Amino acid sequence: MIRTVLFDLDGTLADTAPDLAFALNSLLAEAGRPPLPLAQIRPVASHGSPALIQLGFGITHPHADYEPLRQRLLAIYLANIARETQLFAGVAELLQEIEQRGLNWGVVTNKPAFLTEPLLAALQLRQRAASVVSGDTLAQRKPHPAPLLLASREAGSEPAACLYLGDAQRDIEAGRRAGMASLIASWGYIAADDQPEQWGADGSLTTPAQLLPWLSDRKLG
């Protein structure tokens, strides 16, 4: 039986793309470049600052300008971390239902803790989460299973009693490697050329409410 639901953060629990886009476009403006539309930024929002810098400036590590630009991007984003970010529609009700059923939930994200913690605090979620594992909590990050296994221990559940919900292939891979049921949040930041049907997930949800049947009489074999 599922006792703990673990969530990815960006693109699954919260719609952070508008604030990430604001940070990137602010950085582009500082460099004298035109802004990019949110629709272009949104699909890469789950992939962090390296993907945003590559999208905006066409460079990656070890280009000489890469790290200064990335650090400036993170500084702008931190200063505006909850400017427009909000939970996806239906997520607040889902979390409430999980708690009312006597289950618990947590967050496992590749976002570094110095961004994860203030964002969850701004969303008034930090104290409710049974576990929060950020991208730098351990030496390993998703798709390695270690962050999910740590979250299951902190939540007091065996991996087989956990379910992980995410919007990227690394989320599904991490969940499978951790021995958890893994579901795709199809409302998240899935690019047009992604192939989520090939990720090996146990299912795909179009709304958060569709997770509820997984919490009722669900036994994993």
Return the active site residues.
8
Helix 66-79 × helix 48-57 angle, to 10°: 110
Strands 203-205 and 181-185: parallel
Maximal C-alpha separation, the chain: 57
Q: What are phi and psi of 195, to 5 degrees?
A: -130, 70
DSSP 6: E
Is the distance from CB of 120 to CB of 107 less than 8 angstroms?
Answer: yes
For residues 55 and 39, the answer to whether their CB atoms sit within 8 Å is no
User: What does DSSP say about strands 14-15 and 86-87: parallel, antiparallel, or unpaired?
Assistant: antiparallel
Read off the tokens for 109.
Answer: 């994200």
Token pair of 64, please?
A: 């000489």
How many of the other CB atoms lie within 10 Å of CB of 5?
Answer: 25
Q: Count the neighbouring beta carbons within 10 Å of the beta carbon of residue 71.
A: 11
What residues pair up with 86 in beta bridges, in sequence order? 15
